[in-house]
Amino acid sequence: MSEVSVVIPTMNEEASIGRVIDEVRKALGPRLLEILVVDTDSRDRTREIATAKGARVIPEPRRGYGRAYKTGFHEARGTYIATLDADLTYPADRLPDFLAALETDRADFVSGDRMSHLGGEAMSGMHRIGNAILNAAFRLLYRARIRDSQSGMWAFRRSILPRLYLVHDGMAFSEELKIEAIRNGFRFFEIPVDYRVRVGDKKIRSTSDAVKNLIWLARKRFGWHPKPR
């Protein structure tokens, strides 16, 4: 069994996926490691590059950020699962700090906090405003002390997954995962991380995604639970 499974969702990330995998291997080199690239129908060389770098590529024809992660989590075999995006925005060299919090029993779920150290041009003005609104809504609706509800860099014990009711296939999966961890009483811990300018085409639609995520926060809070797929 792999000690750590790193799950990376991709869609047309040939410009960055090789460097992301290199950063992960450099950061976690001494560990027993599997890298799972869940590819949602890339039309470029993403799969070829990931395979050449030694990752296990899992084709997922169904689109969606959350759908890719649910598929990756199902395939993961590590004691711990870690995640980051394929566009070089998240610093893989901080993964050992995330795992240390789990291994020293300080947390069950660790999430990256981009907002505390956010600077430069990594996030547009509209994206910053959207994150601020979503963070405030998350804190209000769920009475949770959280600095970055939308972060996509996490590490957690794989053993907690059966307790999490995860249904969203889109971008709101990020906040749903944190909600479920907190609601179920797992120890939730945030670590400030640098957030870098993405490599490749932008896929997030700041305004529409923020509105959809805000609606999902409210629906989740007040008991709307579709069946998981």
Give the domain CATH number at 181. 3.90.550.10
Cα 96 to Cα 82: distance, rounded to the nearest angstrom = 10
Quick check: is 213 in a domain? yes
Percent over 90 (pLDDT), the chain: 75
pLDDT value at residue 68: 97
Mean pLDDT across the chain: 91
pLDDT value at residue 226: 59
Q: Average pLDDT, stretch 29-56?
A: 96
pLDDT value at residue 156: 98
Confidence band for 46, pLDDT divided at 50, 70 and 90:
very high
Confidence band for 116, pLDDT divided at 50, 70 and 90:
confident
Q: Which of 61-65, 122-126, 196-200 is least confident?
A: 122-126
Residue 64's nearest CA partner among 32, 38, 34 is: 38
pLDDT value at residue 1: 61
Quick check: is 229 in a domain? no
Cα 97 to Cα 138: distance, rounded to the nearest angstrom = 25
- Alpha carbon of residue 5 to chain centroid: 13
Specify the pTM: 0.91
User: Domain range for residue 177?
Assistant: 4-221
Q: How many domains are there within the chain? A: 1
Q: How many CA atoms lie within 13 A of 202 on its CB side?
A: 9
Residue 172's nearest CA partner among 228, 100, 220, 133 is: 220
Q: How many CB atoms lie within 10 A of CB 47?
A: 20
Confidence band for 210, pLDDT divided at 50, 70 and 90:
confident
Quick check: is 227 in a domain? no
Confidence band for 229, pLDDT divided at 50, 70 and 90:
low
pLDDT value at residue 122: 66
pLDDT value at residue 73: 98
Which residues on adjacent β-strands are paired with residue 222? Answer: none
User: pLDDT digit string (tens) for 127-173?
Assistant: 788 889 999 999 999 999 999 999 999 999 999 999 999 999 999 99
Burial of 79 (0-12, 13-18, 19+ CB in 10 A): middle
pLDDT at residue 222 greater than cutoff 90: no
Quick check: is 228 in a domain? no
Task: State how beta strands 154-157 and 109-113 pair.
Answer: antiparallel
Q: How many CB atoms lie within 10 A of CB 150?
A: 23
